[in-house]
Amino acid sequence: MGVTIKDVAKAAGVAPSTVSRVIADHPRISLATKKRVKKAMKEMGYHPNANARSLANRSSQTIGVVMPAGADKALQNPFFPEVLRGISAVAHKMDYSMLLNTGETEDEIFEGVQRMVYSNRTDGIILLYSKLNDSVTNFLLEQNFPFVVVGKPSERIDEITHVDNDNVRGGKEITNHLISLGHERIGFIGGSTDLVVTVDRMRGYQIALEEAGLPFLEEYRIHTDFLESGGQQAVNELFSLPDPPTGLVVTDDLMSIGVVSMLEECGKMVPEDISLVSFNNVYLTEVTRPPLTTVDIHIYDLGFQAAKCLIEKVKDKSEPAKRVIVPYTVEYRQSTKQKEATLKNI
């Protein structure tokens, strides 16, 4: 016969009801008692019946995670495995599972989220994107269903818990780095303008140019997929201009790698011919040649904080909406250099 709650209670010196409360993570049970009971459970090899516990708590003990549309492409980007790693760390610690919702179209994503909510398969949802006029966000608000956004909501921002970086400030700081090196023709390569993260980073780029008295030119701005192929397409457009840029702000590292590759095919080298800065600091930025100067947005921490906020909201439905800003840092590497014309004028 297997180990029962009564056996665990006897070993821990507590009542069986206390063991049940520890399993349910009841807030009124002291940390010392929780540790003692969990120690007894581990030593005796006792595993709670997940289905019975879910019914008792009316909880699935599962977090839903929603990818942006076109998940087959998105998963090629190292951002997503890293943010999932952060979410998973909290989920594992708090004894939650993860259910990943993917789809090729926005309709498929929406239908998947509806299934998650109506079938009680998840206790709450994390959206790994933020876009304008998002049907999923509006649906979750209407259903009063617990959710957290990784990124900045495009509207009703005070009603939605979200975890983000200060992307406007980051865009300005990384653009100012190129300006400080003497670059005046600075291009911008970003994702879709439906994505709030693209809009914010471009806004920072614009502010830096305007404060430096440099033009904010439409022909220097390209919007494409957050993929290596997107970066290659952007290079073709920018370097067919009569006066191509000497510096580039790229809003995603994987796209930057495509840019570097395409520049080499065109006979241009980074940073000898063009300086390039990027965002995210995925692991590839250190091993690519040259290593990329990039804004480290601490992707793992974004996922970690999002999961933490969601579970707090699931446990206490009255938890108010909050904004968590994860600080960024800039990793200065070898993809930028002083513009030669500036050196000659010194």
**218, amino acid identity:** E
**Could you read off the pLDDT of 307-331 as tens digits, one per residue?**
999 999 998 888 899 999 999 999 9
**282, amino acid identity:** V
pLDDT higher than 70, residue 226: no
pLDDT higher than 50, residue 343: no
**Could you read off the pLDDT of 261-309 as tens digits, one per residue?**
888 888 889 999 999 999 999 988 888 889 999 999 999 999 999 999 9
Residue 231: predicted pLDDT: 58
Residue 86: predicted pLDDT: 97
**pTM metric for this prediction:** 0.80
| Of 35-39, 52-56, 101-105, 107-111, the least confident | 52-56
| Of 59-73, 107-121, 325-339, the least confident | 59-73
Closest CA to 250 of 307, 207, 186: 186
CA distance 8 to 14: 8
Task: Map out the domains of the chain with their CATH numbers.
Answer: 5-48 (1.10.260.40), 62-165+299-315 (3.40.50.2300), 167-296+331-345 (3.40.50.2300)
**Could you read off the pLDDT of 9-18 as tens digits, one per residue?**
999 999 888 8
Report the share of the chain in percent with pLDDT over 90: 58
pLDDT higher than 70, residue 346: no
CA distance 98 to 128: 13
CA end-to-end span of the chain, whole Å? 85
Q: For residue 155, give every residue at least 6 positions away whose Cβ sits within 8 Å of its Cβ, in sequence order, or none.
A: none
Band of the pLDDT at 341, cuts 50, 70, 90? low
147-150, strands of its sheet edge to edge: 97-101, 62-66, 124-127, 147-150, 161-164, 323-325
Report whether 202 contacts 311 (CB < 8 A). Answer: no
pLDDT higher than 50, residue 259: yes
Residue 293: predicted pLDDT: 97
Residue 160: predicted pLDDT: 95
Residue 228: predicted pLDDT: 53
Band of the pLDDT at 111, cuts 50, 70, 90? very high
Burial of 23-60, coded b for 16+ CB within 10 Å and e otherwise, reads: beeeeebeeebbebbbebbeebebebeeeeeeeeeebb
Report whether 126 contacts 150 (CB < 8 A). Answer: yes
Residue 66: predicted pLDDT: 95
pLDDT higher than 70, residue 344: no
Q: For residue 223, give every residue at least 6 positions away whose Cβ sits within 8 Å of its Cβ, in sequence order, or none.
A: 189, 190, 191, 192, 193, 198
> Ranked by mean pLDDT, which of 15-19, 90-94, 228-232 comes out on top?
90-94
